[in-house]
Structure 1
Amino acid sequence: MIHKAFPRFTLLAVLLIYAPLAMAQQNLSFSGTATGSSEVTGFAPAKVLDNDANTSWRSASGDSNPWIAVRLPGATEVVDVSLQLGSTNRSSKLQLQFLLNGEWRSIQDVPLDGEPMVTIKLEKPLLTDRLRIQAMDGAGLEISVFNLIGQSYVDESVGEVKKILVNQSGYNLNRPKAFTAPEASDGSRFGIFSVDRPEAPLFEGEVVGGKGYFHEFNPLTEEEFVVKIGDWESFPFRIGPNWLERVTYRSMVDFMLGARHLVGNVTEKRPISFEWRDGDFFNWSLQTLVAMYLSNPVAYMRMEVKGSYVSNDSYPADYRGLWGALDPFAPGTPDVVQLIHWDADVKVSMKLDHEMQKAELAHFLYAWPYLSQWLPRQNFEAVYAFAKSVWAKPDVSEHANSIYDQSPEHNLLSLKTKLGTTKGEMPPGFSVVPNLMMYEVAKSQGEEDAEKYFDAAFRQMTWIIKHLDWEDPMTTKGQRMSEHITMRAFHYFYSQYPDRYPAGLKEKVTDWARVALSRSDNMWDFRRYSEDEWTPPGWNETGNILGFPAAAIAAMMILEDTELIEGLELLAWSNMENAFGRNPTGRHFSYKGPEEVEGVDLGWFSRHRGGIGLLDELPLVFDGSPKAFHYPNHPEVGNLGWTEGWVQFNTAYNVSMAYMAAYYTDLSVEKIDANNGLIRLRVPLNFDYSARDCMALPIRNAQGATINVSLCEEGPFSEYLVGEYRVEGDVIVTSQGTLERGPSGSLEISYGLGYFRRSLRLP
């Protein structure tokens, strides 16, 4: 991620790199593809690549910004560029450009002196996969030949890359599991072997399309396994219940504790940072923290408490007022609740009225019933008063803004029709859930105008259904790490208002799923940006891969088509596998992965030291991911492209983990006999396979009285916790005591909170 316009010499330092000339330089254009800003019939862009001076590309009349771009099949070192101009060319000033982080950046200006042949000598080899010539005077362009001289790039420091790429840490028991073997021919047999018992395969299958599936292999053991194809062997990995949760839940919270602005592991003030260092205003931290807590409250409530309230009384005077408007939380408050409190406190203390900031406060207010046991009532009153006062405010205070502001105005009740850029700052539908949450809060507070919030959300969702074109990648993967916001809005509206959601909602989600699956039929089970691009051009898309499972699962909760649901489930897990090593580089996205994530063998190539966020020393920093030139399988490119951790990447992962927990939560009751029943709960809690995990689940009667039933693991590798109860007349009995049924005789159990709550009545 690049936050500011660096001087050109600094920008070029990122991509102008010397490398050994291991092969003869050649004309690279024959392997490229060309696109133009416009064209005249018979003068197509492809004509510039045939090295024939008698054919040419010509910009159309009326094209005031003519350009021609050449895209190479992979990362390439370009040393020279030569052009031959056509007879109708009128431009006298050209510029050679390359693509970086989604923007065309200047390499050098090219003045024309009337000669048809132009040679551009680069001071250093330019490492890139696409170049563009643009007319800087707006005059018409005609180019006959656009030759790029250079060679394919090989990073000599890459080292050996495994022929079989897996999730290096491990796979969740009873979930989709896959590997990629790019060089394996169709029909090759693979086997899964125990590292300690390698004599015979424990599971066998066939490679098709460069990949193999072993969904049905669900061993109940703590052994390590490898995949073998002939003499090839993968890194070792484990398979266990809730494996991904086991190796990252604690680190997810620790990252957020340390990434706080002003009070985290770095206390100095940082630019464009409010609640979080390098957070800007579109990191969605508050809503993702709330989602984490609501999805699996017991897991977060019983974590060791590492945080504590930090007053700014001991800080320098210029820190006063940056937080502290909310009264402190109680001692022993779970870390995730402390983080929710911190985010809301800074927003209210600093009066952050940008629409992305104030919209987040609705999640705090919605979650208040589940936070109130730790937080003073003053917190709710202060947040609600501020949110109401600025919700429809159309402008933004200067101190609350950022260089990345794209909002035409900031009234959250208005219709939002502007689509954000690949920076990820304005995803479609970002106001839907906040308005629906404010609707519920306003009703609970007896507000007479509560319906205005619902109406705003309904209008917004209706517009999305009618106007978003899923075939345009800017509505999906082009939103980068913020894509999950859109599909989660669909799920929230559908699940919370089953009788009031706009017409066409389910059909729109079905269309989204079909487009996602149509772009994912490849050896990585990787949802591509578009038909001809693997990733958002020029970007470090780490957060999109990490956040895609949340979008996929949100859609799965709406869909009825079994085939679409199964396809999206595979993609949700393949994206996580991608982040843990099943990708063309064969590396985990975190540079410190091998020392911080159980089982990871190979971390990302490098990390960005310093930067705006100063995040590099935090746990579970997702530093980088494969770029377009790494796909479909070019590991030799190595450490090319931008690398830098970002709070937005981690919050995308956090919300995916929340949706995974919610989706797989299962609650059921089995009848043992006439008087006894068995409660079964599947939820990600079993992280230590050597210890028996137990929890207390409340049983409630209609009057709100409760009695706990103790649920414990069925076995060391069970996903389920179970507990018995007995009925004696009008009384229910558990090991914790008794509870009267009450006048209605109705008894309820539930797990998860708010929009993630699963509940059922006891028979």
Structure 2
Amino acid sequence: MSKFGILSPKYWGIVALLLFGISPVLAQKNLSFSATASSSSSQENHAEKLSIDGDLQTHWSSLSEDKNAWLVLRFPGATEVIKVEINFAPTAVPNETIYLQYLLNGDWKTFHKVENNRAKKIEIQLKKPQLIDRVRLTAQDQKAMEISEVLLLGQQYSDESGLENKPILVNQSGYNLYRSKRFTAPGISDETPFSIVNVKTGKAQFSGKVKGEKGDFSAFNPLTEDEFLVRVKELGSFPFRIGPNWMERVTYRNMIDFMLGARHYTGTVKDIRRISFAWRDGDFFNWSMQSLVAMYLSNPEAYERMERKGQYVSNESFADNYKGLWGKLEPFAPETPDIIQLIHWDADVKISQKLDHEMQKAELAHFLYAWPYLKQWLPQQNFDIVYQYLKDNWEKETVSEHSLSQYNLSKEHNLLSLKTQLGTTKGEMPPGFSVIPNLMLYEVALREGDVAAEKFFAAAYRQLDWMINNLDWSDPMTTKGQRMSEHMTMRAFAYFYQQFPERAPEGIPEKVKEWAQLMLDRSDNLWDFRKYSVEEWTPPGWNETGNILGFPAAVFAANGILEDKTLINDLEMLAWSHFENSFGRNPTGRQFSYKGPEEVEGVDLGWYSRHRGGIGLLDEVQFVFDGSPKSFHYPNFPEAGDLGWTEGWVQFNTAFNLSMAYMANYYTDIALEKKGKGKYIVALTAPLNFDYKTIESVSLKISNQSGDSMMVQLKEDQPLGVKLIGAIEFTGDAIFFENQKLPFGKDDTLTLSYGYGFFQRSLVLSVADFN
């Protein structure tokens, strides 16, 4: 057994030898025995597995009509191949041309070509060892393939740096109080006791038992700033903290700093980069605007109180080739919060460059929707020019060449049109991306008195109705196959259902429940990790970092629709397990950021490496998510080490932004508690307590039906609390807070609210609630 309790990959060949009775001297290097085979087609009694069964008298045959025959051998982990041997069936006519390929970022890359072949046996000595987890043999002569045996010779790859992690895998930074908390203990038997140990005292403060190679300590909620670790027998984890809003505490400022640094032209790099608009390497499908708007609407106080690091940058001091790239929108006011500056920046670049790809236009709808909450810092000109631009271009079917990139798949750019095309695993065209923008523009048009408002609602309705009736959740291309954009689909369901409950298409709850059950089915494993499909852990060949980071947004959106409490609780655990995955609870034992240990409080082991250069030049930006475990790391092969593509991407961070926004809204709550005659406590639960040594405060708005309002100041109830409270008085016809008075008639209602727009949380009270 390996140190992680699973048979080490270096022994797979030996096991295969014993099973097949083959001499260890020769066959120990034949890695094919550890593989599984699949193909483009196969004849009866000539299945793919016969190409790797060690018997030259049996063979795999593709169908005679298969003109693009291929055979794929997939290994349990990363494999270093140094030689390939292909044996054709005794009666076969050998293929003249065969390509050997490996999978990288979703595409098959050719690493060797066999041409003008006549031999029944092909031996290929590779000039350079090929490190792969699957190999594809493809016939390029449009003839059937008949192969009796494929031998892949080499050594199982072992990267010792992959063993720097701990045998017990946790969220290295820490866990939120009163939320799901789990760990993974590979190879540990069921019913093995575990304990949560206080690092400072050395004493166990919680205990439980391992089940399914994982443990749950959600019930452990200590009110202390001490560190803890998981102990299973003699094995331990990295230390971690447990605190109120811990995930928010260690990420909120980092999220903003990343967006500031990743700006095109004015961030940490001034260069003009290709495939970049407002953000370096952002492309047209980066979802930055909607992520920033969602962040602000979900928790405005947290972002308004942040230190201002950004400032307006005019392009007048730049070279001539920068003129017109931004600056069409008038500048924001002094002391504007960084998050509003970033929202302004995104809109300014899109308007200044007249970007008219359908997804760029759709992003601007979020800016217009949020205008009532932005206008205290932004000139009215900003709204007017963006609104006119969208009215002129929303239904425009064509797109300007400068708005495109090599990843464009849109057939036309009229956002009122029905969108039935699914994108690829690049993440560029998720189902339902036009639903929320159309509904937002509908609300904006109503606000502006536009008689044509209904056409936007009709387009959104038609789109979601199509999704309900046509999306097949079992097809990964409707879920995890959309990579970092998957959250768009479930968020569209939630927005329509919650904002327009009386007008939403039928079947939303049922469709979402189907999705939820499938997500749970695909997550029944030692990592609580939602797999790509039954067979595949991750999208084959891709750096899927943003998918893991964005999945919680989809979960929290779905939970706002579901009614089954058990289903909701199980899904909520999945949201947290994916946060845990990105912070070290994964087969590599590493947090996804190369600079994690220096940038994120509590992180011990960051990602193996970072990509220097690249289109985005993001390697020096704060809080880059560089990489995540690949298919050959799962279910538990840390020996694979630093393999597969590694590179930060704005799209990964914006997926995380959206998850954090949806999480903030999901847990925000307002309550009223009676403390005596006419005396009441207002309590707000929201992620605002980040500094445990400072008593935080927040202003909560209370308004009556007439539109009169007052602000009630709430403060933390304790240093490690998750609630902020304030005392009010009710006299029968008015509410009092300090020297403020708000009239409250017997037939009146009061609304207490936090957050804005579709993320506003409200408590509506009548006189009866005070009696």
TM over 0.5: yes
Structure 2 residue aligned with 1:19 = none
Question: What is the CA distance between 1:339 and its match in structure 2?
Answer: 0.5
Q: Give yes or no for the alignment of 1:414 onto 2:417.
A: yes
Question: What is the DSSP-based 3-state SS (H/G/I as helix, E as strand, rest coil) of the residue aligned with 2:351?
Answer: helix
| 1:666-688 Cα distance to aligned partner (Å, 9 max, x none) | 11111223312211110000011
> Which SS does the other structure have where 1:290 is aligned?
helix
Does structure 1 residue 52 correspond to structure 2 residue 62? no
Equivalent residue number for residue 563 of structure 2 = 560
What stretches of structure 1 of length at least 5 have no aligned partner?
1-21
Taking the aligned partners of 2:64 and 2:421, their CA distance within structure 1 comes to: 30
* 2:546 counterpart (532, 543, 546): 543
- Aligned-partner Cα distance in 2 for 1:324–1:541: 35
Alpha-carbon contact 1:549-1:572 (below 8 Å) kept:
yes
What are the within-5 Å matches in structure 2 for residues 266-415 of structure 1?
266-415=269-418
The DSSP-based 3-state class of the residue aligned with 2:752 is strand
SS at match of 1:95: strand
Query: Matches of 1:90 and 1:118 in 2, distance apart?
Result: 10
Deviations 1:38-59 (A, max 9, x none): 1222221111111222222212
Aligned position for 1:3: none
Query: What are the Cα deviations for residues 599-631 of structure 1, in whole angstroms up to 9, with x where unaligned?
Result: 111111111111111111111110011111111
Name the TM-score, length of structure 1 as normaliser: 0.95
* Residue 588 (str. 1) matches residue 591 (str. 2): yes
Runs (4+) of structure 1 exceeding 4 A deviation are 22-25
* Worse-matched range after superposition: 260-269 or 50-59: 50-59
Task: Sort the Cα spacing of 1:83 and 1:736 in 2 relative to 1 into closer, same or farther, 3 A.
Answer: farther
Q: Match for residue 166 of structure 2?
A: 162
Contact 1:80 1:120 (C-alpha < 8 Å) held by counterparts: yes
1:736/1:137 Cα in 2 relative to 1: closer, same or farther (>3 Å)?
Answer: farther
What's the secondary structure of 1:74's corresponding residue?
Answer: strand
Distance 2:247 2:94 in 1: 60
SS in 2 for 1:158: helix
Question: C-alpha separation between the residues in 1 aligned to 2:449 and 2:92?
Answer: 72
- Name which of 147, 150, 154 aligns with 2:151: 147
1:494 paired to 2:497 = yes
Task: For 1:155 and 1:124, locate their aligned partners in 2 and report how far apart those are by CA, in whole Å.
Answer: 18
Q: Does 1:746 align with 2:753?
A: no
Contact 2:732/2:744 (<8 A) preserved:
no
1:100-119 per-position Cα deviation (integer Å, ceiling 9, x unaligned): 11111111211243221111
> Residues 161 and 746 of structure 1: is their aligned pair in 2 closer, same or farther, counting only changes over 3 Å?
closer
**Match in the other structure for 2:462:** 459
Distance 1:650 1:119 in 2: 46
Aligned to 1:182: 186
Deviations 1:320-347 (Å, cap 9, x if unpaired)?
A: 1111111111111111111011001111
8 Å CA contact retained: 2:734, 2:742: yes
**C-alpha separation in 2, matches of 1:112 and 1:537:** 31
Q: Among the aligned pairs, what percent are the same residue?
A: 61
Number of the residue aligned with 2:74: 71
1:410 match: secondary structure: coil
Deviations 1:471-499 (A, max 9, x none): 11111111110000111001001100101
Letter of the structure 1 residue corresponding to residue 608 of structure 2: F
SS at match of 1:677: strand
The corresponding residue for 2:532 is 529
- 2:208 and 2:161 map into 1 onto residues whose CA distance is 34
Aligned equivalents of 2:94, 2:395: Cα separation in 1: 51
Q: Which residue of 2 aligns with 1:116?
A: 120
- Does the 8 Å contact 1:295/1:752 carry over to 2? yes
RMSD: 1.4
8 Å CA contact 1:79, 1:121 repeated in 2: yes
Matched, 1:214 2:194: no
Structure 2 unaligned residues grouped into runs of 5+:
1-24
1:681-714, CA deviations, whole angstroms, 9 ceiling, x for partnerless residues? 1000001111111112121122222211111111
1:25 Cα deviation (Å)? 5.1
User: Which of 248, 254, 257 lines up with 2:257 in the alignment?
Assistant: 254
Aligned pair 1:83/2:73, yes or no?
A: no
Residues in 2 aligned to 1:364 and 1:665: alpha-carbon distance in whole angstroms: 23
Cα deviation, residue 442, structure 1: 1.2
Q: Aligned partners of 1:361 and 1:683: how far apart in 2?
A: 28
Deviation, structure 1 residue 761: 2.2
- Whether the 8 Å contact between 2:678 and 2:729 is mirrored in structure 1 is yes
Give 1:120-131 correspondences, 5 Å limit: 120-131=124-135
Q: Name the structure 1 match of 2:200.
A: 196
* More displaced stretch, 42-51 vs 53-62: 53-62
User: Across the two proteins, how many residue pairs are aligned to each other?
Assistant: 741
Residues of 2 paired with 1:401 and 1:160: CA distance?
Answer: 43
Deviation at 1:183, TM superposition (A): 2.4
Q: Give 1:133's aligned amino acid.
A: L
The alignment partner of 2:160 has SS state of: coil
Q: Is the 8 A contact 1:89 1:143 kept in 2?
A: no
Q: Is the 8 A contact 2:701 2:754 kept in 1?
A: no
Cα shift at 1:24: 8.7
Any idea what SS the aligned residue of 2:577 has?
helix
- SS of corresponding position for 2:516: helix
- Deviation track 1:162-212 (CA, whole Å, cap 9, x = no partner) reads 1111111100000000111102121111111111111x3100000111110
Distance 1:643 1:24 in 2: 34
**What code does the residue aligned with 1:532 have?**
E
